[in-house]
């Protein structure tokens, strides 16, 4: 690449100052030194420009003159969601070769669960309980994105999600902090690699900081009220782990947290993130969330919103233009200082240096899109994410020798919809649908296809007769039901969590035929599936599976691979049970099967307390339909003989926990062994169970293995509202394959 002289001069000067013997040192300290040296050469306008991120709404070349001039004048530090590699390259070229200092752009994009190869939605990836696989998915997405000039992704989302009405739970890893931590680390390591300067790495973003997933009523952007203990012990935990994993950037959220919007929250950003945790990347606002400070009523106007966001520690403004319009005025009137500007700019430039953008600003141009390897990994992700919830009479797996199969449902052949929410770069023509995969596997002559409904929201029975005919003329019925992608994700929350349109009616009509029936639900959220359990023989929860959904489903349906997915969220029996999650605190009146008083069993004019007082619903009790961590296989696993290396654990020691797991069925299969702990007495009430470890175990029929977990006193730490503590006392510990694990032992932690 031939560089213009200003760019060559600046880089030469920076390298001269910061590097010995003209060798580029890519360590963090030298990235800081290079950033300091470059800041010394910048005007105030150029510094503020680095803090400004704009959306490119134009997809034609040459670039619109207004946008061109902003880049050339150094007034844009980052762009997001450019629409083509050609556009991305041209914007980068202008920044590098035509601006005064030649500072490259950060090119951001929502690479959420894949780029061209689309993997299952994130809640589905969490159901794999396989961080190594999730890391590989992120690694593939990063390489694909970087090959087209993208160097920054707004992922992973690590909001704890305990309310399935929240449509954005599709991007989450569910209700559990530990599982979310593991998925977050896997994604960060996959996106960023061992070194950000690697040509296939992109900068990751920990979002949304913080508490966004706790929106009241599951309504997106809504108020969040989180006590300090819960904020620390649940919602902040994944972000702390992300900082420890050297995540490049953090995104502040849309939501208000305990009265203060998170994009203006000095306590969470400045005090906790930057000072307490020593985060040295930069903070970017969510889309126009600085502007929203005034809409919330937290700021008087745009000038006040700009001041409060910068004061809180937001380094880059996404798309509201508040920084570029107001920061100079705030400097001139003395409201903010030059040091505040320089700190933000240094953080941004440091990441650009660490990404190697000054040396390699453009796309890699390597042919990495949708390779055979990436498709194999995507298929594996579908297989391991799909959760088997029911399998009556062992109707699954199906035999390949079956004569006729009915394939029915609006999601059976919907290539776009099965990719799920937040897909900008996946292509319909690359997507393998269930219909396509089944026809290829069995032969089209063995398949009777009838969608029954045009789309998931169709509200008529026009296609029912063809679907019923297809079912009658088949030996088994495969129903592919669910949600179109637009019905999940940001701003798509729902109060009624059942299949939309006339899908319920179609399932009911098919069930009357008495045919062996398998239901595969394809969605990004948790639906109320209890009614279907009596209508179908087998039920797969397949999420929105992405590019290779059909291939993965075929492997599962026909027993080429057994199911091993586990639920990352608790499944309620009805919306009225929400919120319901496994790791809740105990009450003074805990419910049990024996204590559940059913509404229709209560005698007329019964005395108020004569039937017992426990925390349950009269109509739906206290238990969910399916617990966190649940998932069936085609075989059965037996857990036995839990053993602890010691009964008394000291603060500077570790505890080895073992158990036997045996495959007592007829299939080679994997199970996810899960370890849970309960702190019986604490200075604040502790959860009834907490996931602390998990691992995948593969066993042949009849095979038995010893599984081993190592636990440290640090794993028992919690925040009591004032400080982090590890308190001595008694603990219960369980091993099993769901949060209902019953194989239990106990130990004592001593000072």
Say if CB 224 and CB 211 are below 8 A apart. yes
Whether omega before 533 lies within 30 degrees of 0, making that bond cis, reads no
The catalytic residue positions are: 286
Q: 3-state SS string over 397-446?
A: CCCCCCCCEEEECCCCCCCCHHHCCCCCCCCHHHCCCHHHHHHHHHCHHH
Does the N-terminal peptide bond of residue 127 adopt cis geometry, omega within 30 degrees of 0?
Answer: no
Q: Degrees (nearest 5) of the Cα angle 519, 520, 526?
A: 110
Short-list 230, 632, 145, CA closest to 394: 632
The side-by-side arrangement of strands in the sheet containing 52-55 is: 152-153, 106-109, 78-80, 52-55, 317-318
For 344, other C-beta atoms within 10 Å of its C-beta total 25
> Which 3 state secondary structure label does DSSP give 74?
coil
CA dist 465 and 231 (Å) reads 53
Nearest to 507 by CA among 487, 537, 527: 537
Measured distance CA(232)–CA(254) in Å, rounded: 19
- 199, 148 Cβ separation under 8 angstroms: no
Paired tokens of 594: 């024996």
Q: Measure the CA angle with vertex 367, ends 363 and 368; round to 5°.
A: 90
Q: What's the CA gap between 343 and 355, in Å, rounded?
A: 19
Q: Are 52 and 75 in contact (CB under 8 A)?
A: yes
Instruction: Say which residues have a Cβ less than 8 Å from residue 270's Cβ, sequence separation at least 6.
Output: 311, 312, 313
d(CA 303, CA 326): 6
Distances (CA, A) of 666 to 156, 564, 702, 726: 38, 15, 8, 45
What is the rounded distance in angstroms from the CA atom of residue 593 to the CA atom of residue 421? 39
Round the CA-based radius of gyration of the chain to a whole number and report it: 27
Q: Tell me how crowded residue 62 is: count the other CB atoms within 10 A of its CB.
A: 8
Residue 554: φ, ψ to 5°:
-60, -45
Q: How far is CA 98 from CA 20, 38, 343, in A?
A: 28, 17, 26
- The secondary structure of residue 43, as a DSSP letter, is -
Beta pairing, strands 256-257 & 260-261: antiparallel
| Three-class secondary structure of residue 746 per DSSP | strand
Number of H helices, E strands in the chain: 20, 26
The answer to whether residues 363 and 88 touch, using CB atoms and an 8 Å cutoff, is yes
Which of 384, 460, 457 has the alpha carbon at shortest distance from 417? 457
- Could you report how far apart the first and last alpha carbons of the chain are, in Å? 62
């Amino acid at each position: 690449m031939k560089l213009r002289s200003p760019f060559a001069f600046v880089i030469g000067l920076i390298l001269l100052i910061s590097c010995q013997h003209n060798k580029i040192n890519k360590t963090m300290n030298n990235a800081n030194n290079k950033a300091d040296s470059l800041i010394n050469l910048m005007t105030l306008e150029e510094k503020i420009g680095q803090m400004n991120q704009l959306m490119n709404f134009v997809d034609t070349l040459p670039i619109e003159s207004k946008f061109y001039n902003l880049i050339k004048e150094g007034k844009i530090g980052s762009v997001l969601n450019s629409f083509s590699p050609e556009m991305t390259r041209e914007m980068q070229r202008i920044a590098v070769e035509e601006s005064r200092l030649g500072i490259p752009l950060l090119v951001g994009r929502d690479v959420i669960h894949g780029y061209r190869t689309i993997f299952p939605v994130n809640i589905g990836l969490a159901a794999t309980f396989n961080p190594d696989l999730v890391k590989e998915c992120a690694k593939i997405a990063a390489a694909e994105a970087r090959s087209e000039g993208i160097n920054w992704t707004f992922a992973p989302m690590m909001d704890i999600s305990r309310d399935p009405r929240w449509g954005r739970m599709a991007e989450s890893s569910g209700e559990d902090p530990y599982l979310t931590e593991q998925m977050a680390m896997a994604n960060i390591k996959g996106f960023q690699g061992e070194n950000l300067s690697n040509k296939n790495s992109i900068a990751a973003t920990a979002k949304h900081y913080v508490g966004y997933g706790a929106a009241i009523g599951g309504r997106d952007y809504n108020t969040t009220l989180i006590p300090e203990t819960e904020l620390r012990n649940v919602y902040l935990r994944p972000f702390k782990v992300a900082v420890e994993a050297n995540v490049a950037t953090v995104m502040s959220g849309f939501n208000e947290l305990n009265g203060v919007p998170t994009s203006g929250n000095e306590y969470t950003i400045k005090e906790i993130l930057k000072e307490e945790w020593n985060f040295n990347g930069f903070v970017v606002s969510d889309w126009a969330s600085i502007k929203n400070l005034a809409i919330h009523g937290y700021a008087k106007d745009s000038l006040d919103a700009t001041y409060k966001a910068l004061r809180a520690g937001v380094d880059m403004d996404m798309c509201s233009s508040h920084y570029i319009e107001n920061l100079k005025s705030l400097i001139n009137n003395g409201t903010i200082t030059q040091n505040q500007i320089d700190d933000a700019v240094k953080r941004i430039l440091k990441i650009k240096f660490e990404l190697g953008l000054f040396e390699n600003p453009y796309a890699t141009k390597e042919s990495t899109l949708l390779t055979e390897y990436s498709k194999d990994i995507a298929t594996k992700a579908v297989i391991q994410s799909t959760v088997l919830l029911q399998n009556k009479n062992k109707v699954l797996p199906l035999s390949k020798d079956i004569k006729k199969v009915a394939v029915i449902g609006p999601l059976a052949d919907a290539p776009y919809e099965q990719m799920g929410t937040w897909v900008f770069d996946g292509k319909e023509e690359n997507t393998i649908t269930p219909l396509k995969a089944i026809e290829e596997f069995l032969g089209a002559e063995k398949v009777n296809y009838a969608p029954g409904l045009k789309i998931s929201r169709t509200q008529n029975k026009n296609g029912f007769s063809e679907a019923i005919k297809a079912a009658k003329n088949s030996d088994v019925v495969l129903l592919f039901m669910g949600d179109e992608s637009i019905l999940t994700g940001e701003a798509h929350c729902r109060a009624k969590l059942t299949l939309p349109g006339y899908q319920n009616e179609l399932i009911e009509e098919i069930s009357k035929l008495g045919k062996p029936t398998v239901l595969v639900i394809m969605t990004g959220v948790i639906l109320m599936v209890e009614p279907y359990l009596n209508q179908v023989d087998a039920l797969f929860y397949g999420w929105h599976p992405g590019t290779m959904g059909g291939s993965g489903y075929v492997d599962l349906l026909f027993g080429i691979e057994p199911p091993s997915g586990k639920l990352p969220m608790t499944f309620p029996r009805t919306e009225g049970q929400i919120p319901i999650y496994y790791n809740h605190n105990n009450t003074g009146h805990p419910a049990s099967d024996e204590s559940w008083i059913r509404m229709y069993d209560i005698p007329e004019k019964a005395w108020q307390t004569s039937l017992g007082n426990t925390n349950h619903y009269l109509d739906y009790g206290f238990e969910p339909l399916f617990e966190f961590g649940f998932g069936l296989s085609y075989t059965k696993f037996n857990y036995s003989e839990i053993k602890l290396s010691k009964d008394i654990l000291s603060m500077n020691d570790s505890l080895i926990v073992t158990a036997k797991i045996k495959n007592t069925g007829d299939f080679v299969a994997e199970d996810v062994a899960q370890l849970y702990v309960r702190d019986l007495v604490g200075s604040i009430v502790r959860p009834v169970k907490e996931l602390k470890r998990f691992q995948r175990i593969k066993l042949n029929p009849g095979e038995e293995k010893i599984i081993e977990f190592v636990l440290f006193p640090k794993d028992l730490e919690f925040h009591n509202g004032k400080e982090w503590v590890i308190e001595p006392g008694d603990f219960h510990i369980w091993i099993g394959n769901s949060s209902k694990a019953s194989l239990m032992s106990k130990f004592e932690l001593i000072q």
